[in-house]
Amino acid sequence: MKPIMKESPLSRCLAGGVFLATCLLAPLAQADTLEVRFGYLQWQPDRGPALARLTPEPEDAGLQGAQLAISDNLSTGRFLGQHYQLESAILGSEDALLEALAAMLDADIELIVLNVPATTLRKASEIGGERALLFNAGARDVSLRLDECSPYLLHTVPSHAMLTDALAQWLNVRRWRSVFLISGTTDDDRAWAEAFRRSAQKFALNVVTDKEWTFEADMRRNASAELPLFTQGPDYDVVVVADERNDFGDFVPFNTWLPRPVVGTQGMAPDAWHPAIEAWGAAQLQNRFAKQAERDMTSTDYAAWAAIRAVGEAVTRTGSDDMQTLRDYLLGDDFELAAFKGRPLSFRDWNGQLRQPVPLAHPNSLVAMAPFEGFLHQHTELDTLGYDRPESRCRLTD
């Protein structure tokens, strides 16, 4: 049992029945209060013009998740004499972001969530060194988890490999094993498609056709003419699309040569989170989020939320705000996070990846939650998703 700081000014304040807002303004920086400070930094490069324009990622995707996690942590912390703060910035360039990071480090902020591309994350991780524990809430690249791990970088966003493994498991369960794969031409698209090819091999799928979409045509006019021709070929059960920036993928469903379902980055997609998830208490999280942000919670919001909630959980359990103590606890066997996906989440101690179920959803509904029954693992079924310990060259805790 952890000692409970019964006489914190906050619990007195609450016991007196004073309204919460007043309580939060009460003097918190007292000796028996832990002050936990977080940073949140975001820079995502412009992904260029896309043909589909209905569902752009909200500009504050990630930041709103971080803010909700702070308020969740505060609600818990007020009973335990723990207080949480967030300093955040959305930057316009990589240089600006790295400067903001250096400033946070100088201000002794030691817990920082980053929503940036992989190239920026590598630089940030070098700057951070051992001075701060960084959380990756924006980059899905496999290499960051496979061979370029940094001991002070944890990943709360799933890797491409986790997402495509979830999809491939499901296709195997449905016995839709012949795949027509269409990939876009950006690095992200190619990375996603490459991850899928590996997943297909892992889960006994057969990629019968593997094509890149390089057309320059305006799909809003020509989709019905171009795509049926493009998707001609040997018979397939399903079309898998790799189009991360949502350029052409939304035009594939209902325009295939054969009457087949479309999955991948469009159609039914695997991701960290989806607004349609409501089981496992998720309805409450979605409600809290919608009330705060006045929009739905995205996967990036979820990844940022999970990072700050994970630390909050570690602070509650260890009673400490020491970064090193928190890192060791997060990577240890005792850590588990209840995060509304039906199973406890924990960090893979070899590469710092948060192991988590992966929802498969189409725009308005949840279809399934991977991993699926029958895909066995000697430690946890969650490690059937993504690179397992023997496949990764990283050993963070050795």
Partner 1 sequence: MKIATRLAAFCLTLGLSTPLWAQSLAYVSNERDHTISVIDMATLEVVDTFPVGQRPRGILLSPDESLLYVCASDDDTVQVVDLATRKVIDTLPSGEDPEQFALHPNGRHLYIANEDDALVTVLDVETKRVLAQIEVGIEPEGMGVSHDGRWAVNTSETSNMLHWINTETFEIEKNIVIGSRPRHVEFTRDDALLWASAEIGGTVHIIDVESLEEIHTIDFRIPGVNQDRVQPVGIQLTSDGRYAFVALGPANHIAVVDAQTFEVLDYLLVGARVWQVALSPDEKTLLTTNGVSGDVSVIDVDKLEVIKSIDVGRFPWGVKITSGTQS
- Which residue ranges make up the site for partner 1 (CB under 8 A)? 1-2, 4, 6, 11, 14-15, 17, 20, 72, 75-76, 79-80, 281, 284, 287-288, 313, 316-317, 336-338, 342-344, 380-382
Residue whose CB is less far from partner 1, 313 or 321 = 313
- Shortest distance (Å) from residue 341 CB to partner 1: 10
Residue whose CB is less far from partner 1, 260 or 341 = 341
Is 16 exposed, middle or buried (CB count within 10 Å of its CB: 0-12, 13-18, 19+)? exposed
What the block records as the tokens of 171 is 């296709």
Alpha helices for 206-322 (secondary structure H): 219-230, 282-293, 299-318
Strands 111-115 and 133-136: parallel
List all residues 6 or more positions away from 103 whose beta carbon is below 8 Å from its beta carbon.
none
DSSP structure class, residue 267 = S
- Shortest distance (Å) from residue 15 CB to partner 1: 5
- Shortest distance (Å) from residue 340 CB to partner 1: 9
137, 128, 103, 109: which is closest to 298 by C-alpha? 137
List all residues 6 or more positions away from 171 whose beta carbon is below 8 Å from its beta carbon.
177, 179, 203, 205, 237, 238, 263
Residue whose CB is less far from partner 1, 80 or 133 = 80
- Shortest distance (Å) from residue 154 CB to partner 1: 19
Residue whose CB is less far from partner 1, 112 or 331 = 331
Residue whose CB is less far from partner 1, 16 or 92 = 16
Question: What residues pair up with 355 in beta bridges, in sequence order?
Answer: 346
- Shortest distance (Å) from residue 331 CB to partner 1: 17
- Quickly tell me which residue has 């600006």 as its tokens: 96
Q: In which element (H, E) is residue 112 found? A: strand 111-115
Q: DSSP letter string over 336-348?
A: -B--SSSS-BEE-
Residue whose CB is less far from partner 1, 67 or 125 = 67
Residue whose CB is less far from partner 1, 138 or 371 = 371
- Shortest distance (Å) from residue 14 CB to partner 1: 5
- Shortest distance (Å) from residue 233 CB to partner 1: 40
Distance, in Å, from the CA atom of 281 to the CA atom of 294, rounded to the nearest integer, reads 20
